């Protein structure tokens, strides 16, 4: 027997219409090269409708892919609602990918239009000969349209101006595709994920729960995570759904700009990868900002060093909340907040350990860890296994990609992350399957070593990679960036002594190399692939030196 409920599709359009009706004067602030731009949810709604009608006039039809090549700002937000709202698919292109990868993605997704920031035009201009199916480019600029070789080209502002304000978004099927995003991927070409309206709606509802990201109308939400990286982790949707004020940093991601914007707009919740917050933490040690409005810094995308969680709290009274997710998961998977009985009973140090774990699964995310033989491993906090997940906002396949086959195991999505799960259900990401150091048949977690090294007071950043070893197959090499004031004043011995006692002896890196900077991926994570390439011809130090440590 079926329930007797109204047939009411779960689509993103409702978020926008609700915010415009209930919070019409709530502000949306964008930091643009031309200055601070402010408008309201009423304006967002009005302009999104005009834009949708103009895009239809340009020939965009339901199911067509409309790509964006842009920073975080109000226009990108308008596209977030206008494109899925008219039944087309918003494809957010990662502006930091290599040109060839951008061309691959645009062609693979068969993008019809690309909407681009004027400041990013040069990248697309160089690529345009390779962008086969693109029928037009829409340029977002504050003043007159800049000169460009792209053709045909349209002005975003003119389209909005000429659009129809009386436009009504059509009724959509909740299973229709709304957004498309490619994973930057560590090997091979990027893979496409295609999110439905329903998946994003349910994801948003869960994300807003108090034990997940806990968003309310009272918040001022600033995603630093780019709108081209898994929908800025869903925050623009979540903020719109609850009617929170939004702040978008545009291209201004330097810690000084971030701190100033938090202070100026009284931001309460912000989110981004650890690199951003490591930079902010260092800045706050020497420059004063009033960040007292902040009640949560959501950090994910890579493991969050324990020292960072501890440092923010101890030195500045700021709370860091770690979350884990993936492009394939829209992206929310787990959030690390201590359960109340643990908070009440665990000593400080253990609570900190817990918050440095990736957390417990959000409602509707099911997870398990599986060993080499495909057997589920126990939730004992010790046994490692590959993390597999399933749930309503997890992809069931990659978009037109044969690599779907190896990505699934009997209905579960294989994350490629190696984890332990403790009896309370907290996962700890031990490594990527590809980044583990396999030493003498045992696994060493590069991530745990990195985090421990990054807790050293003289260290800014550290990455650990596997280097082939004649006896042990692979051994860990630590690549370390010292803080500016300690350049040339830090030794391998200091690092190894700092680590000893924290790990089994055989886990300790066989060598420590100091570098100026670490290569980062397009979304700001340590690029282990590039680092491995950089150290391709590295040879281990002579044995006696090895023994001396
Ligand atoms: P992406 O699809 O680019 O968001 O990358 C997803 C991958 O980032 C995951 O599979 C993890 O390997 C990594 N990741 C995301 N969040 C975290 C986290 N909090 N701790 C450790 N790794 C993370």
Q: How much distance in Å is there from the Cα of 301 to the middle of ligand 1?
A: 4
Nearest ligand 1 atom to the CA of 333 is 16
Kindly report the protein residue whose alpha carbon is nearest to atom 4 of ligand 1.
326
Catalytic residue, candidates 438, 483, 492, 529: 438
CATH classification of 13-253 is 3.40.50.300, yes or no?
A: no
Q: How much distance in Å is there from the Cα of 302 to the middle of ligand 1?
A: 5
Predicted pLDDT at 547 = 39
Cα(392)–Cα(366) distance, integer angstroms: 10
Specify whether 187 is catalytic: no
Of the chain, the percentage scoring pLDDT greater than 90 comes to 87
- pLDDT tens, residue by residue, 463-509: 999 999 988 889 999 999 999 999 999 999 999 999 998 998 989 99
Nearest ligand 1 atom to the CA of 184 is 3
Q: How much distance in Å is there from the Cα of 325 to the middle of ligand 1?
A: 6
Q: How many beta carbons lie within 10 A of that of residue 63, not counting itself?
A: 11
Q: How many beta carbons lie within 10 A of that of residue 493, not counting itself?
A: 11
3-class secondary-structure state, position 148 = coil
Q: How much distance in Å is there from the Cα of 316 to the middle of ligand 1?
A: 26
Find out whether 23 and 242 touch, Cβ atoms under 8 Å.
Answer: no
Specify whether 443 is catalytic: yes
3-class secondary-structure state, position 470 = coil
Predicted pLDDT at 66 = 99
Cα(161)–Cα(273) distance, integer angstroms: 36
Cα(175)–Cα(196) distance, integer angstroms: 5
Q: Taking Cα atoms as reference points, which of 47, 84, 20, 68 lies closest to residue 162?
A: 47
Handedness of CA 478, 484, 490, 494 (dihedral sign): negative
Q: Taking Cα atoms as reference points, which of 164, 170, 129 lies closest to residue 55?
A: 164
Residues framing ligand 1 (Cβ under 6 A): 183-184, 230, 300-304, 322, 324-327, 331, 358, 415-417, 429, 432, 523
Q: Taking Cα atoms as reference points, which of 84, 38, 76 lies closest to residue 60?
A: 84
Nearest ligand 1 atom to the CA of 336 is 19
Q: How much distance in Å is there from the Cα of 525 to the middle of ligand 1?
A: 9
Nearest ligand 1 atom to the CA of 521 is 3
Catalytic residue, candidates 17, 56, 328, 386: 328
Q: How far is CA 216 from CA 40, 222, 243, 246, 335, in A?
A: 17, 13, 8, 12, 17
Kindly report the protein residue whose alpha carbon is nearest to atom 5 of ligand 1.
326
* H-helix segments, 370-455: 404-407, 446-454
Q: How much distance in Å is there from the Cα of 275 to the middle of ligand 1?
A: 13
Domains in the chain: boundaries: 13-253, 360-432, 437-548
Catalytic residue, candidates 379, 443, 472, 540: 443
Q: How much distance in Å is there from the Cα of 389 to the middle of ligand 1?
A: 14
Cα(59)–Cα(385) distance, integer angstroms: 49
Which of 225, 326, 407, when mutated, tests ligand 1's pocket best, judged by the most ligand atoms within 8 Å of its CB?
Answer: 326
Predicted pLDDT at 442 = 77
Specify the DSSP element, H or E, that contains 474.
Answer: strand 473-482
Q: How many beta carbons lie within 10 A of that of residue 99, not counting itself?
A: 12
Q: Tell me the helices (H) and strands (E) count for the chain, helix number first.
A: 19, 26
Cα(331)–Cα(334) distance, integer angstroms: 10
Nearest ligand 1 atom to the CA of 416 is 10
Q: How much distance in Å is there from the Cα of 367 to the middle of ligand 1?
A: 15
Specify whether 348 is catalytic: no
Q: Which CATH superfamily groups domain 437-548?
A: ANL, C-terminal domain (3.30.300.30)
**CATH fit for domain 360-432, picks 2.30.38.10, 1.10.10.10, 2.160.20.10, 3.40.50.800:** 2.30.38.10
- pLDDT tens, residue by residue, 24-44: 999 999 999 999 999 999 999
To the nearest 10°, report the CA torsion of 367, 191, 213, 169. -120
Q: How much distance in Å is there from the Cα of 273 to the middle of ligand 1?
A: 10
3-class secondary-structure state, position 381 = coil
Kindly report the protein residue whose alpha carbon is nearest to atom 20 of ligand 1.
303
Query: The tokens 């009411």 sit on which residue?
Result: 8
Give the angle 525-528-533 at the CA atoms, nearest 5°: 140
Q: How many beta carbons lie within 10 A of that of residue 364, not counting itself?
A: 15
For residue 31 the two structure tokens come to 């930091």
Which of 335, 354, 388, 417, when mutated, tests ligand 1's pocket best, judged by the most ligand atoms within 8 Å of its CB?
Answer: 417
- Give bridge partners of residue 181 from the DSSP assignment: 193
Predicted pLDDT at 373 = 87
Predicted pLDDT at 186 = 55
**Alpha-carbon 500 to chain mean position:** 33
Specify the DSSP element, H or E, that contains 156.
Answer: helix 156-162
Nearest ligand 1 atom to the CA of 329 is 2
pLDDT in tens, the chain (549 residues): 999 999 999 999 999 999 999 999 999 999 999 999 999 999 999 999 999 999 999 999 999 999 999 999 999 999 999 999 999 999 999 998 889 899 999 999 999 999 999 999 999 999 999 998 999 999 999 989 999 999 999 999 999 999 999 999 999 999 999 999 999 765 678 999 999 999 999 999 999 999 999 999 999 999 999 999 999 999 999 999 999 999 999 999 999 999 999 999 999 999 999 989 999 999 999 999 999 999 999 999 988 989 999 999 999 999 999 999 999 999 999 999 999 999 999 999 999 999 999 999 999 999 999 997 899 999 999 999 999 999 999 999 999 999 999 999 999 999 999 999 999 999 999 988 889 898 887 778 998 899 999 999 999 999 999 999 988 889 999 999 999 999 999 999 999 999 998 998 989 999 999 999 999 988 888 899 899 999 999 999 886 444 333
Catalytic residue, candidates 183, 204, 275, 420: 183
Specify whether 78 is catalytic: no
Q: Taking Cα atoms as reference points, which of 46, 77, 397 lies closest to residue 222?
A: 77
Kindly report the protein residue whose alpha carbon is nearest to atom 23 of ligand 1.
302
Task: Determine what percent of the chain falls in helix, strand and coil, rounding each to the nearest 5.
Answer: 35, 25, 40
Q: How far is CA 368 from CA 12, 315, 496, in A?
A: 30, 37, 34
Kindly report the protein residue whose alpha carbon is nearest to atom 6 of ligand 1.
326
DSSP string, 184-239: --SSSS-EEEEEEHHHHHHHHHHHTSTTTT---TT-EEEE-S-TTSHHHHTHHHHH
């Amino acid at each position: 027997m079926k329930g007797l409920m109204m047939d009411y599709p779960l689509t993103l359009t409702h978020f926008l219409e609700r915010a415009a009706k209930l919070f019409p004067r709530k502000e949306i602030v964008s930091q643009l090269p031309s200055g601070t731009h402010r408008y309201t949810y009423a304006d967002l709604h009005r302009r999104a409708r005009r834009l949708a009608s103009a895009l239809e006039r340009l020939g965009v039809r339901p199911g067509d892919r409309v790509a964006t090549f842009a920073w975080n700002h109000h226009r990108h937000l308008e596209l977030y609602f206008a494109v899925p709202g008219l039944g087309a698919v918003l494809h957010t292109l990662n502006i930091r990918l290599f040109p060839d990868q951008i061309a691959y993605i645009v062609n693979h997704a068969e993008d019809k239009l690309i909407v681009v920031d004027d400041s990013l035009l040069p990248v697309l201009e160089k690529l345009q000969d390779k962008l086969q199916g693109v029928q037009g480019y829409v340029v977002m600029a504050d003043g007159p349209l800049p000169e460009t070789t792209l053709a045909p080209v349209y002005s975003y502002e003119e389209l909005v101006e000429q659009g129809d304000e009386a436009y009504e978004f059509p009724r959509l099927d909740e299973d229709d595709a709304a957004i498309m995003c490619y994973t930057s991927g560590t090997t091979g070409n990027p893979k496409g994920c295609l999110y439905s309206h329903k998946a994003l709606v349910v994801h948003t509802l869960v994300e807003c729960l108090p034990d997940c990201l806990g968003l309310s109308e009272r918040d001022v939400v600033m995603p630093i995570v780019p709108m081209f990286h898994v929908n800025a982790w869903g925050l623009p949707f979540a903020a719109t759904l609850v009617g929170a004020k939004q702040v978008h940093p545009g291209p201004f991601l330097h810690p000084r700009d971030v701190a100033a914007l938090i202070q100026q707009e009284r931001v309460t919740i912000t989110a981004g990868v650890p690199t951003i917050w490591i930079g902010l933490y260092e800045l706050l040690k020497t420059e004063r900002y009033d960040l007292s409005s902040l009640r949560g810094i959501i950090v994910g995308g890579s493991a969050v060093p324990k020292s960072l969680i501890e440092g923010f709290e101890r030195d500045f009274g700021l709370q860091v909340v770690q979350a884990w997710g993936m492009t394939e998961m829209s992206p929310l998977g787990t959030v690390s907040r201590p359960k109340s009985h643990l908070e009440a009973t665990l000593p400080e140090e253990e609570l900190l350990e817990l918050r440095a774990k990736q957390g417990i699964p959000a409602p509707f995310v099911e997870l398990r860890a599986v060993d080499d033989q495909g057997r589920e491993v126990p939730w004992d906090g010790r046994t490692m296994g590959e993390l597999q997940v399933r749930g309503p906002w997890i992809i069931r396949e990659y978009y037109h990609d044969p690599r779907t086959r190896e990505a699934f195991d009997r209905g579960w999505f294989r994350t490629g992350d190696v984890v332990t799960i403790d009896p309370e259900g907290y996962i700890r990401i031990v490594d990527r399957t590809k980044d583990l150091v396999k030493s003498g048949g045992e696994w060493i977690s590069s991530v745990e070593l990195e985090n421990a090294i990054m807790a050293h007071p003289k260290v800014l950043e550290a990455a650990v990679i596997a280097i082939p070893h004649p006896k042990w197959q692979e051994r860990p090499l630590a690549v370390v960036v010292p803080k500016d004031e300690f350049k040339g004043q830090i030794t391998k011995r200091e690092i190894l002594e700092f680590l000893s006692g924290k790990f089994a002896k055989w886990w300790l890196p066989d060598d420590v190399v100091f570098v100026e900077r670490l290569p980062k991926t397009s979304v700001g994570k340590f690029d282990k692939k590039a680092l491995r390439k950089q150290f391709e011809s590295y040879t281990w130090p002579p044995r006696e030196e090895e023994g001396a440590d």
